[in-house]
Chain A
Amino acid sequence: MILRTEDLTMQFGGVTAVDAFNLRVPEGEIISIIGPNGAGKTTVFNMITGTYAPTKGKIFFGDKDITAKNPSQITKAGIARTFQNIRLFKDLTVFENVIIAKHLHLKSNWLQSMFRISGLPSWLSPYPAEEQRFQEETEELLEKLELSDQKDAVSSSLPYGRQRRLEIARALATQPKLLLLDEPAAGMNPQETQELSSFIERLRGEFNLTILLIEHHMDLVMDISKHIYVMEFGLNIAEGAPTEIQENPKVIEAYLGSDD
């Protein structure tokens, strides 16, 4: 298991947004969380990434307890995320958006970064080599995600689908082991959603990733998930392989809504 939660619980005032959730994410798989609006899916992500400290319960990444560590430590440990509502650095370029996410790998301190002299051996001035590597890795990543042609464009000027892809590129730049995608298909048409499905599969292989996915598009989820967790009102009402989930009466009820 690359990620495991134990009775993960989050309360906001009187509202229990997530109630004793036990999640298991095996390494190298694509695991999904589905559920109606307000079920608590994003809140699970926010706890895993350290944005919220859980009210109760624990989170393990590998065998390390990462419960309530701060978000930058968790990203350094190897978990990266995208956001449900795209959150790019809007005024910065595509290239800058991605290279910023390389900063966590920087070994040079701020003085070495300021007083950089290229051409010197790296024990005297380590920064230029690191910067060069960041630039190359960023170029390469943009190339792989087919964003190179717009690398100097201001990120907010990109079409919607590309903004989503850029957000994924930025998350990948941190070199995560586990990637959390919060509704990557939101706002996409059926054809784009179809493409996204093979894109996510490709990412997993190419970057050796484990992927945890929140999604509403059932076709996408059923298509690529190894295992699915279903949430409703903070509770994990079902889990299983896609075929099991499709036939589960509780799930059908949660999605179609009971008549009351």
Chain B
Amino acid sequence: MMKKINPKIFMTLAAIALTLAAAFVLNGVLDSYLKRILNLCAIYTIISLSLNLVNGFTGMFSLGQAGFMAVGAYSVAIFTVPIELRPSSFYLVPMNPFLARIELPLIAALLLGGLFAALFALVIGFPVLRLRGDYLAIATLGFSEIIRILFTNMQSITNGALGIKNVPPLSNMFLIYLAMILTIILLHLLLTSSYGRAFKAIREDEIVAEAMGIGLLKHKLLSFVISAFFAGIGGGLYGALLGTVDPKNFMFTLTYNFVLIIVLGGLGSITGTVIASFIITFGMEWLRFFDSPLRLFGVVIPFFQPGLRMVVFSILLMVLVLFFQKGIMGQREFSFDMVRRLFPRKKENAS
């Protein structure tokens, strides 16, 4: 019983298979530096998508991604470090005896991190999202700082400022790209459902959305909690990629990367977010050049010092907001039809 497959679905499945195959092959071929950047691209995609769900598709304004990432990363660090290696991190204060006995596989720790992040989002979102106006930005910014300070001080659980070492390093591109593709598929399914339409209605005009029977609190909370879940998963992968998790990795400035990505890619575009994640992640690597001292003809150019990268970065963000508000994709999605329209005369392969 062969049903005729919709060519669009076929193309999409082919693209997914191709991506995974490429990740699998490149994983064995590339040097560890390049692999690390490509893995970071995929992880940044997951986290940026989670932010875009709230900011781009639902029209709220959250700045909490670094906090939710921290929750996910710590969940991975606490539960996946092999029990016998834990004392080498927790040498000042021993690990909480209950936690010290639990070791989980990465997948379980990731999901747990996502669920914890979602729980935090529920607790923040419930009071804040009842208010009209953009209190969410302030609350989430506050949350991501509070969570970091909390993690700095919960010595027996997080090992405080020293961080947790020996997180089993994750460098398998296939797994990370699989996580990215699953995130894309799940968010696509959500956003193309009636709930996704409700989110967009709230983005367009929340008063009208409510007048059409869409409960604001319920739908905003749903979007925010799902977003936190994926940010938690992304944070867990990030922690595993780093191999060491400490509070300084999760300064709220980390969130700005994702804001830049979704603005560049297009608020309300999944494919735009993917494209922008790769551009920004590679861009940030190349911008490292600004952070190291520069000598020209024996003269030290004064501005090239650590921190300049962030200045350049901020200027880029401003330029983007001023001159390029819709980003690469606006609210549209990349589609195979679009490619076809770009090359109108090209004959399609009959194979």
Contact = CB atoms under 8 A, between A and B. Distances in A.
Interface in B130-149: none
Nearest to B189: A114
Given A92-B200, A110-B195, A114-B190, A103 B208 contact: no
A89 B207 CA distance: 11
A202 interface: no
Contact of A110 (B190, B208, B211): B190
Given A91-B331, A114-B193, A104 B213 contact: yes
B207 A100 contact: no
A75 interface: yes
B198 A113 contact: no
B207 to A, nearest CB: 7
A248 interface: no
Majority SS at the chain B contact face: helix
B201 A106 contact: no
Nearest to B188: A114
Contacts of A90: 204
B179 interface: no
Interface residues of B, number: 24
Given A51-B207, A89-B204, A103 B189 contact: no
B215 interface: yes
Given A110-B190, A114-B193, A83 B208 contact: yes
B186 interface: yes
Contacts of A72: 210-216
A108 B189 CA distance: 14
Contacts of A174: 212-213
B222 A110 contact: yes
Interface in A211-239: none
Contact of B214 (A103, A131, A173): A103
Interface residues of A, number: 39
B197 interface: yes
Contact of B208 (A70, A87, A127): A87
A114 B216 CA distance: 20
Contacts of B215: 70, 72-73
Interface in A101-144: 101-104, 106, 108, 110, 113-116, 127, 130-131, 134
B210 A89 contact: no
26 contacts: A70-B210, A72-B212, A75-B210, A75-B212, A76-B213, A81-B211, A83-B208, A87-B207, A89-B204, A89-B205, A90-B204, A92-B201, A100-B200, A100-B201, A100-B209, A103-B194, A103-B198, A103-B214, A104-B212, A110-B190, A114-B186, A114-B190, A116-B189, A131-B193, A134-B194, A170-B212
> Which 10 A-B pairs rank lowest in CB-CB distance, beginning with the nearest?
A104-B213, A75-B213, A113-B193, A89-B204, A71-B210, A101-B212, A114-B189, A72-B215, A100-B201, A103-B198
Given A75-B212, A110-B190, A114-B186, 12 more contacts: A51-B207, A51-B211, A72-B211, A89-B208, A91-B204, A103-B195, A103-B197, A103-B214, A110-B222, A114-B190, A114-B195, A131-B194
